[in-house]
Amino acid sequence: MKLIANNIHKKIKGKTILNDISLEMETGNIYGFWGRNGSGKTMLFRALSGLMKIDSGNIYWNDKELHKDFAVLPSQGIVLEHAGLYPNKTGVENLLYLAQLKGVIGKREVEEAIRRVGLDPADKRVFGKYSMGMKQRLVIAQAIMEKPDVIMLDEPTNGLDEAGIKEIRQLIEQEKERGALILLASHNQEDMKILADQVYKIADGRIERKGTEL
């Protein structure tokens, strides 16, 4: 399965955020997005997921077009900010609530995802009391819990200690082996070296370079 972008452009308040971006990505691979703060990685993920409309260009998932055949990408898990998680709900409660919106998975799968990121489904602490690393793990659990075809991870190893980084890298590899298409934005060079099959270097909203190394 393929995710394709053809010549996408986006301006916000007169400023060009995405400038003629074309990409072709296939399931079973990890694509790294490397670039300075503000280069456009997050905005690109938002565009590709359908969360943000583009001004021109086309985005295809297989033979279907985003914004024509569907409003958002049909099978995706996305880690952006800690958006959508309630500080006064536990991890399980938070993910169950989100799972119920789609109705594809139930409690068993939610608990399995929580275990896979190294958290305890029986933990009664609420999200607001989680450490930064625990929050990050729960957000990743949310992105993978429905076993989506496309997973977008924006800085997934942020806030994790060395052991946590290793665990999350393993999880990302497992998701690739499962056959997911993974987009990974990270400032961590090791993440790029270890995980990415292809690296897109982003600068000023453009793809400056594509290759197998940084």
10: contact with ligand ATP by CB under 6 A: no
32: contact with ligand ATP by CB under 6 A: no
13: contact with ligand ATP by CB under 6 A: yes
**What minimum distance in Å lies between the beta carbon of 33 and ligand ATP?**
8
- Look up residue 70 and give its DSSP letter: B
Alpha-carbon distance of 51 to 68, in angstroms, equals 14
Residue for token pair 């300075």? 36
76, amino acid identity: Q
Alpha-carbon distance of 155 to 130, in angstroms, equals 18
**What minimum distance in Å lies between the beta carbon of 77 and ligand ATP?**
18
Radius of gyration (Cα) for the chain, nearest Å? 17
The single residue among 25, 30, 41, 168 that binds ligand ATP, judged by CB under 6 A, is: 41
* Integer angstrom CA distances of residue 198 from 1, 10, 32: 17, 24, 6
**What minimum distance in Å lies between the beta carbon of 122 and ligand ATP?**
34
**What minimum distance in Å lies between the beta carbon of 31 and ligand ATP?**
15
41 or 135, CB closer to ligand ATP? 41
8: contact with ligand ATP by CB under 6 A: no
Residues 122-143, buried b or exposed e (16+ Cβ, 10 A)? eeeeebeebeebbbbbbbbbbb
76: contact with ligand ATP by CB under 6 A: no
- The answer to whether the beta carbons of residues 64 and 75 sit under 8 Å apart is no
The single residue among 14, 37, 63, 162 that binds ligand ATP, judged by CB under 6 A, is: 37
38 or 179, CB closer to ligand ATP? 38
Alpha-carbon distance of 142 to 85, in angstroms, equals 10
Within positions 150 to 189, which residues make up the interface with ligand ATP, using CB under 6 A?
Answer: none
Choices 37-45, 55-63, 133-141, 190-198; region in contact with ligand ATP by CB under 6 A: 37-45
**What minimum distance in Å lies between the beta carbon of 125 and ligand ATP?**
28
Torsion of CA 164, 167, 173, 179, to 10 degrees: -100
37 or 102, CB closer to ligand ATP? 37
Site residues for ligand ATP per CB under 6 A? 12-13, 17, 35, 37-43
